[in-house]
A and B are shown apart, each in its own frame.
Chain A
Amino acid sequence: MDTQRKKGLLDVCVLAVLSRGPSYGYELLGTVSRCIPISESTLYPILKRLEAGGCLSTYKEEYNGRIRKYYRLTEAGRKRIRDFLEEWGEMEKIYTFVQTMSQEEST
């Protein structure tokens, strides 16, 4: 998949996981990987970008005698998910358009 598009999709996947409740790095990697393969070095900038954009906030909590960093969805993050889902109609139209146009050409 195109890297640029994958980036955008991964952003929403991470937010979608967080819509179930706050999560942390390791768990996010595991859950998102069920849908798109993602490595730790890919996840890092996504989290940073989403935090900078206000889509998620972070907090630290003690766990097992160490600090675990949690990521939590914000209202802006929720809106981002809604926007993505609402885009689907439009996306579908483009997809069908590309499909039919290219089919017409090949025939």
Chain B
Amino acid sequence: MTVQEYLRDFLAELGPLSEEERQQISDYYQELICEGLERGMREEEILSVFGSPAEAAAKFREENGLAQPVRAITAPAEGTVTVLDLRTEGAPVEVIPAGPGELRIGFEPRPDIDEVESVLEDGVWHFRHSLRKSVSRFLTRQFWRGRTPGIQVLVPENFAGRLLIRTCDAKIRLTGVRDLAELSLTTSNAAVKVEDASASVLRVRTDNGGIRLINLGANDLAAVTDNARIEAEAIRGGQISLKTGNAFIHAAGLEGSTLTAVTSNGRIQAEQCSFSERAGLTTSNGAVVIDRLDCPDIALRTSNGPITGTVRGEMREYVTEARTSNAGCNVPNLHGPDRQKHFSAHTDNARIAVEFVRE
């Protein structure tokens, strides 16, 4: 077992923790291990002092006054799970990597409050969590939803299937799960954060809650929210689509074939992004800011907001079309048979100031 595997299993055994706490614990142990190695101890020696990941985690929880981990539930029947279809009424969901083994769900249903139904059918594991019907008699369902304990999904490293997760009024967080066929995360009125992950198809949907995407790989990625920001950083993909309204979109270090970023009443910013086919940034009442955008077909749209920044490339390669009213524009309208690329920028009541740069 390598140190990385050990820490991964140890952290998985610790159960639900805030991300910050998890990181701090990980850093703490990593540092101790490094110190030991630098003093000539062997890896196995150090890890054996800690005990097995499960033992170390149990001890750690006890010493730190953390709750015992929730019981891990496995699929209800023998057979390979290729799809997890998890629906919950208001539980926050955390998806984290685990060592080899089966796909598991950590959840401790509260007696008389939570109801769980778990069925495996043709490789599809349907996991349904809801509040008992009787619950609403005493207090509103909203009250209990807000207090629902988290559901943890422990994804083994060899799982390459589909994860479909749906909750409401609660956060979803996923870290460190790679090579999935599909990942679909849906909630409402809450934020979604996806970090260090990859899937062929990646869908994130919420509203009134922000979306953060960090260090991802996906052939087809779509993130949709409303009234909340989208922040995307370091994404390698094919088609990337980011949509919201009444909030800003910030993209940095994105690569792929097409980028569609749409909002309204908010600013769109794209830094160091590179797309091989098309990049369309659309908003209204907000600025469009690009920094070294590299793409053969660029369309920037807003109104009442400036369009500024830099395109990576030579202006002579582009058919350019720039239009505004009541303000200055530094991009001429040029076309010609040699110009293979397209750049267009439209706004109103605000300036257009875009430079073409080599690097």
A24 to B38, CA, bound (A): 14
User: Contact flags (1/0) for A20-57 with B, using CB distance below 8 Å?
Assistant: 00001110010000000001111011000000000000
* Set of chain B residues within 8 Å of A80, measured between Cβ atoms: none
Q: Is B28 an interface residue (CB 8 A)?
A: yes
A66 to B37, CA, bound (A): 13
- Whether A40 lies near B50 (C-beta < 8 A) is yes
- Whether A39 lies near B59 (C-beta < 8 A) is yes
A29 to B64, CA, bound (A): 17
A69 to B32, CA, bound (A): 10
Chain B: interface size category: 10 to 19
A residues lining the B interface (CB < 8 Å): 24-26, 29, 39-42, 44-45, 64, 66-69
B residues lining the A interface (CB < 8 Å): 25, 27-29, 31-32, 34-36, 38, 50, 56, 59-60, 62-65
- Whether B60 lies near A66 (C-beta < 8 A) is no
- Whether B32 lies near A26 (C-beta < 8 A) is yes
State whether A69 and B31 are in contact (beta carbons under 8 Å apart), knowing that A41-B56, A44-B25 are contacts in the complex: yes
A40 to B63, CA, bound (A): 10
* Set of chain B residues within 8 Å of A42, measured between Cβ atoms: 63
- Whether B64 lies near A25 (C-beta < 8 A) is no
Residue of A nearest to B66 (CB): A45
* Set of chain B residues within 8 Å of A44, measured between Cβ atoms: 25, 28, 60, 63-64
* Set of chain A residues within 8 Å of B36, measured between Cβ atoms: 26
A34, chain B: closest CB distance, angstroms: 16
State whether A24 and B31 are in contact (beta carbons under 8 Å apart), knowing that A41-B56, A64-B38 are contacts in the complex: yes
